Chain A
Amino acid sequence: MDIQGTTMPAVVHALTRAATDTLLIELRHPDAAGRLPAAQPGDHIDVRLGKFVRQYSLCGPATDGRYLICVKRERGGRGGSSALHEELRVADTVQVSAPRSKFPLVRGERTLLLGAGIGITPLLAMAEALWDDGAAFDLWFYAPDRGRAPLIEYIATRPYAERVHLRLSSVGQSARTALPDSLDRADPDTQIYVCGPTGFMEHVRSHVRAAGWADEQLHQETFSLNAEAAAGLVTGDEFTVRVASSGEAYQVPSGTSIADVLRFNGVDVELSCEQGICGACLIPVLAGTPDHRDEVLSEAERAANDQMTICCSRARTAELTLDL
């Protein structure tokens, strides 16, 4: 998967150990006086290192011109987090995307933030914004123990630190035993934000539903490679795809794949995995430049731009002509 949309260089200003196997990375504009584009609380960015492109939530203040991301080394992952841990050095330049929103903060009368493990990161950006607004909020932070609670030293330096309630399963306070009492009573003026492992979020969701909260009051972001990939795979600018044999042209909106558009219009295409891993839907490209988002093509094949996977890849040009 490539970075979606335009990229910009950012310089690694500082690397800090934020917990066991967890790295806090501060990115800055290459010019000392420059500022990276402002973000919204809850935004994430794409970061490219070598062949890896990964999404990370911003965890610092959204508008100070710097990006703070926190990366946990995933031993079972696909190599992106390990590459960042092993290869990244202070003063390196990396390519990043502009901030994107998938987890926007909707201001309510009161806000409850619940994070577990590395899922704390977008919630810290929200806490920062809510504090600046003088809003009523609390942040409940669940971790196995202090050594595996990312960013606790960083949190202690922030003005909102007094609103953060650390709950450690090592002392018997897990999400199963120590959810905040305020979740037990549904309150129409409170918004709830949850981020963490799937099991944690499912537990909070069932607890909240049982207590009578409305679904619209619960906002959540999953930290899962598949969910991230599925959600991000086919978003991007709208473009036109043209079928060479018939000359017909179709619009491909954001969130819809070329294959879906073609099939909707009665053009027969063969698909298998539908997520850019198998190569069954590779189609020759006659004109235009693809935006390759699969993991099938090699670097050289990508650069040739003469074929593409139509289940997930998009266009860098306004129009693509496919040999169909």
Chain B
Amino acid sequence: MPAALTIPRECTFDPDDWRIIARYWYPIALATEVGEAPLGVKLLDQPLVVYRVDGETVIADDICPHRGVPLSLGTGDGRGIGCAYHGFRFGSQGRCVDVPAHPQAKIPSRLNLRTYPAVERYGLIWTCLAADAETEPEIPSHPHWDEAEFQRINCPWIDIAAFAGRQVEGFLDVAHFSFVHLKSFGNPDNTVVPDYAAVPTDDGFEVEYWSSVSNYPIGVVDRGEPGFQWLRHFRLHVPFTATLVVHFPDGARLSIMNAASPVSARMTRMFAPICRNFDTDQPVQAVYDFNRIVFEEDRAIVEVQKPENLPLDPKLEVHVPADRSSIAYRKALRGLGLGSFFTA
């Protein structure tokens, strides 16, 4: 548990904004990626090392307290990891358990790693840089994930060279389907956005968006009823996690979590645990592939948006009624006390 919140070296965020967003929980890796060997990741500009020891998941600063070499360059054997420079070993709870140069000497307590809490949920490893020892992990809920008839699918993560806020806003946007998703599910002739409302919740807002935009992949014979009205139920959890439940015909449901992990102000690792109660006997590779096409289509846009940060002041960009989600999102982030995030 960190004693005091330290702003990372070369932090790309405004420090005040960093202190606010560091209070939230983010996924940093797929559970399947983390094993005995040290894995290096980054969250909010903070380099982290993740490893498993005796079934316990350890998340710590990715730096050897001895001479500052990243521990992710080292090796692991299930009982701990070893630094690549002098072989110092670290085990459960990030404690230093061996200094090979002096096997019999007392190990200074300052050699213990600074660690962060690790929670495995939705097939992902979640952490929080500013977690309080007393507070329960606040990990956003994923609709239907725990229901027996739903198939759980963990898509590979996608790295996006853009700010998490821009990526999340793109996920919530309902006016871009006909322009951006022409290779996946969009219909170029169905551009009009019916009115909808963003309703505040405890940690964000939700939107029930009804439209005639189908969610079937292009090329798939339309299995829906003609004139079917599609409900897309979005839920946003501040700051960077959103879920979307797509209501297909005949009670079929597709539930997507868009968990945007802010690597830095300009880099986002997007995790997408998905569950569904149809086609559960079909190979998941098709879901991976379709999801990849959709998010790549979004990535091409999000990476070129200017300014690179998300302008929270409503005066800075122009809003139309289709942007009610975006307006609500920026308002919710303003409500956390966030400012400009960083200067583009």
Chain A residues within CB distance 8 Å of chain B: 75-79, 225-226, 270, 272-273, 275, 277-280
Q: Which residues of A contact B319 (CB under 8 A)?
A: 272-273, 277-278, 280
Which residues of B sit under 8 angstroms from A279, Cβ to Cβ?
A: 314, 327, 331
Q: Quick one: which of B293-344 are within 8 Å of A by CB?
A: 313-315, 317-321, 323-324, 327, 331
Q: Which of B210, B327, B331 has the most chain A CB atoms inside 10 A of its CB?
A: B327
> Are the C-beta atoms of B195 and A272 separated by less than 8 Å?
no
Cross-chain contact B197 with A79 (CB below 8 angstroms) = yes
Contact A226 to B315, CB < 8 A, known contacts A77-B195, A279-B331: no
Q: How many Å from the CB of A236 to the closest CB on chain B? A: 21
> Are A76 and B314 closer than 8 Å at their CB atoms?
no
Q: Which residues of A contact B320 (CB under 8 A)?
A: 273
- Determine whether the beta carbon of A280 is less than 8 Å from that of B229: no
CB pair B197–A78 under 8 Å, yes or no, is: yes
A-B contact pairs, 20 of them (CB 8 A): A75-B210, A78-B195, A78-B196, A78-B197, A79-B197, A225-B195, A226-B195, A270-B315, A273-B318, A273-B321, A275-B321, A277-B319, A277-B321, A277-B324, A278-B319, A278-B323, A278-B327, A279-B327, A279-B331, A280-B315
Query: Do A76 and B229 have beta carbons less than 8 Å apart?
Result: yes
Q: Give every chain A residue within 8 A of B211 (Cβ-Cβ).
A: 76
Enumerate B186-230 residues with CB–CB distance to A below 8 Å: 194-197, 210-211, 229
A43–B99 CA distance with the chains assembled, in angstroms: 87
Q: How far is the CB of B224 from chain A (nearest CB, A)?
A: 16
B118 → A minimal CB distance (Å): 38
A277 engages B327 (CB within 8 Å): yes
Number of interface residues of B (CB under 8 A): 19
Chain B residues whose C-beta falls within 8 Å of the C-beta of A280 in the assembled complex: 313-315, 319
Residues of A within 8 A of B195 (CB): 76-78, 225-226
Say yes or no: A76 contacts B194, CB within 8 Å.
Answer: yes
A275 to B318: give the CA distance in the assembly, Å: 11
* A278 partner residues in chain B, CB cutoff 8 A: 314, 319, 323, 327
B107 CB, nearest partner CB in chain A, Å: 56
Let me know if B324 and A76 touch, CB within 8 A.
no
- Closest CB in chain A relative to B312 CB, distance in Å: 11
Q: Which residues of A contact B331 (CB under 8 A)?
A: 279
A277 CA to B313 CA, complexed, in Å: 13
B229 touches which of A75, A78, A275 (Cβ 8 Å): A75
Interface centre among B210, B229, B315 (most CB of A within 10 A): B315
A225 and B314 alpha carbons, distance in the complex (Å) = 23
CB distance from A34 to the nearest CB of B (A): 35
Give the residues in chain A near B327, CB-CB below 8 Å. 273, 277-279
Q: How far is the CB of B334 from chain A (nearest CB, A)?
A: 9
A185 → B minimal CB distance (Å): 35
Which A residues are in CB contact (< 8 Å) with B314? 272, 278-280
CB nearest neighbor in B for A224: B195
> Which residue on A lies nearest to B331, using beta carbons?
A279
Write out the residue numbers on chain B whose beta carbons fall within 8 Å of the beta carbon of A270. Answer: 315
| Chain A residue nearest to B231 in the complex (CB) | A75
With a cutoff of 8 Å between Cβ atoms, the chain A residues found around residue B323 in the complex are: 273, 277-278
Per the bound structure, the CA–CA distance linking A85 and B324 in Å amounts to: 24
Most buried by B among A76, A78, A225: A76
User: Are the CB atoms of A272 and B318 closer together than 8 Å?
Assistant: yes
Given the complex of chains A and B, what is the CA–CA distance between A75 and B230 in angstroms?
11
A270, A277, A278 — which one has the most chain B CB atoms within 10 A of its CB? A278
For the complex, give the distance between the alpha carbons of A277 and B198 in Å.
11
B201 CB to nearest chain A CB (Å)? 14
Using Cβ atoms and an 8 Å threshold, which residues of chain A touch B315? 270, 272, 280
Task: With both chains docked as a complex, state the minimum distance between the C-beta of A235 and any C-beta of chain B, in angstroms.
Answer: 19
Write out the residue numbers on chain B whose beta carbons fall within 8 Å of the beta carbon of A75. 210, 229
- By a CB distance below 8 angstroms, the chain B residues around A272 are 314-315, 317-319
Given contacts A75-B229, A226-B195, A278-B323, 9 further A-B pairs with CB under 8 A are: A76-B194, A76-B211, A77-B195, A270-B315, A277-B321, A277-B323, A278-B319, A279-B314, A280-B319
How many whole Å from A198's CB to the nearest CB in chain B? 10
How far apart are the CA atoms of A210 and B324 in the complex, in Å? 39
> With the chains together, A77 CA to B331 CA distance in Å?
22
**Min CB distance, B53 to chain A, in Å?**
50
Contacts of A226 on B, CB cut-off 8 Å? 195, 321
With the chains together, A273 CA to B211 CA distance in Å?
23
| Interface pair B318/A76, CB less than 8 Å apart | no
Which chain B residues lie closer than 8 Å to A273 at the CB level? 318-321, 323, 327
Centre residue among B210, B319, B331 by max chain A CB count within 10 A: B319
